[in-house]
Amino acid sequence: MSDAETDESAESAAAPKRRGRGNRKHTVGYVVLSSVVVLALVTGLSVVFLYRHLNGNLNVVDLSDELGERPDKVAAEGPKDPINILVMGSDTREGEGNDIDGEGGAEASDTTILMHLSADRKRAYGVSIPRDSLVTRPDCRNGEVPGGDDEMWNAAFTLGGPACTIKQVEELTGVFVDNYVVVDFNGFRDMVDAIDGVPVCIPEDISDPAHGINIPAGEREIRGAEALNYVRARYTLGDGSDISRISRQQTFIAAMAKKVISGGTLSRIDRLIGFLNAATKSLTVDPGLENVAKIGNLGLQFQGIGLDNIQFLTVPIEYDTREQFRGRVVWTDEADGLWRKIRNDEPLSKRLTSGAINAANAPGKGPSPSDAESPSDPASPSGTASPSGGASPSKEASPAKPAAPDAEAAEQAAANGLCA
pLDDT on residue 31: 57
User: In total, how many domains does the chain have?
Assistant: 2
Is 256 in the same domain as 330?
A: yes
Residues 90, 53, single domain; the answer is no
Domain-located, residue 192: yes
Domain contains 94: yes
> Which tens digit of pLDDT belongs to each residue from 100-158?
444 444 577 888 999 999 999 899 999 999 999 999 999 999 999 999 999 999 999 99
> Do residue 250 and residue 218 come from a single domain?
yes
Look at residue 31 and tell me if it is in a domain. Answer: yes
Amino acid letter, 349: S
* Number of other residues whose CB lies within 10 A of the CB of residue 87: 18
Note whether 94 and 194 are same-domain residues.
Answer: yes
412 close to 392: Cβ distance less than 8 angstroms: yes
Q: Which of 8, 40, 57 is the last residue of a domain?
A: 57
**Does residue 3 sit within a domain?**
no
Are 158 and 50 in a shared domain?
A: no
CATH of residue 256's domain is 3.40.630.190
* Domain with 324 in it: 62-415
Report the C-alpha gap between 11 and 17 in whole angstroms.
10
Residue 56 burial (CB count, 10 A): 11
User: Do 46 and 182 fall within a single domain?
Assistant: no
Pairwise pLDDT comparison (254 vs 40), residue with the higher score? 254
Same domain, residue pair 150 and 172: yes
> What pLDDT, in 10s, does the model give residues 350-393?
999 988 887 677 777 655 443 433 333 333 322 323 333 333 33
Confidence of residue 43 (pLDDT cuts 50, 70, 90): low
Strand order in the sheet with 357-358: 59-60, 283-285, 179-184, 83-90, 111-117, 124-128, 310-314, 357-358
Asked if residue 215 lies in contact with residue 205, where contact means CB atoms within 8 angstroms, the answer is yes
Provide the percentage of residues in the chain whose pLDDT is more than 90: 33
**What is the reported pLDDT for 378?**
31
- For residue 340, the model assigns a pLDDT of 96
Kindly state whether residues 32 and 162 are assigned to the same domain: no
Average pLDDT, the chain: 75
Q: What's the pLDDT tens digit per position in 62-85? A: 999 999 999 998 887 777 899 999
SS3 assignment for the chain: CCHHHHHHHHHHHHCCCCCCHHHHHHHHHHHHHHHHHHHHHHHHHHHHHHHHHHHHHCEECCCHHHCCCCCCCCCCCCCCCCEEEEEEEECCCCCCCCCCCCCCCCCCCCEEEEEEECCCCCCEEEEECCCCEEEEECCECCCCECCEEEEECCHHHHHHHHHHHHHHHHHHHCCCCCEEEEEEHHHHHHHHHHCCCEEEEECCCEEEHHHCEEECCEEEEECHHHHHHHHHCCCCCCCCCHHHHHHHHHHHHHHHHHHHHCHHHHCCHHHHHHHHHHHHHCEEECHHHCCHHHHHHHHHCCCCCCHHHEEEEECCEEECCCHHHCCCEEECHHHHHHHHHHHCCCCCCCCCCCCCEEHHHCCCCCCCCCCCCCCCCCCCCCCCCCHHHCCCCCCCCCCCCCCCHHHHHHHHHHHCCCCC
Residue 168 domain-assigned (yes or no): yes
Predicted local confidence at residue 71, as pLDDT: 95
**Does 170 have pLDDT greater than 80?**
yes
**Which pLDDT band, with edges at 50, 70 and 90, does 25 fall under?**
very low
Is 114 in the same domain as 150? yes
Question: Pairing state of beta strands 83-90 and 148-152?
Answer: unpaired
Q: pLDDT digits over 324-340, tens only?
A: 998 899 999 999 999 99
The last residue of a domain, from among 16, 35, 57: 57
Same domain, 190 and 335: yes
420 within some domain: no
Identify whether 130 is part of a domain.
yes
Is there a single domain that holds both residue 34 and residue 181?
A: no
Position 404 scores a pLDDT of 45
* pLDDT score, position 101: 42
CA 253 to chain centre: 6
> Looking at the domain assignment, is residue 293 inside a domain?
yes
Are 48 and 75 members of one domain?
A: no
Q: pTM for the complete prediction?
A: 0.73
pLDDT in tens, 183-201: 887 778 888 998 889 888 8
pLDDT of residue 419: 66
Q: Identify which has the larger pLDDT, 127 or 293.
A: 127
296 or 171, which is more confident?
171
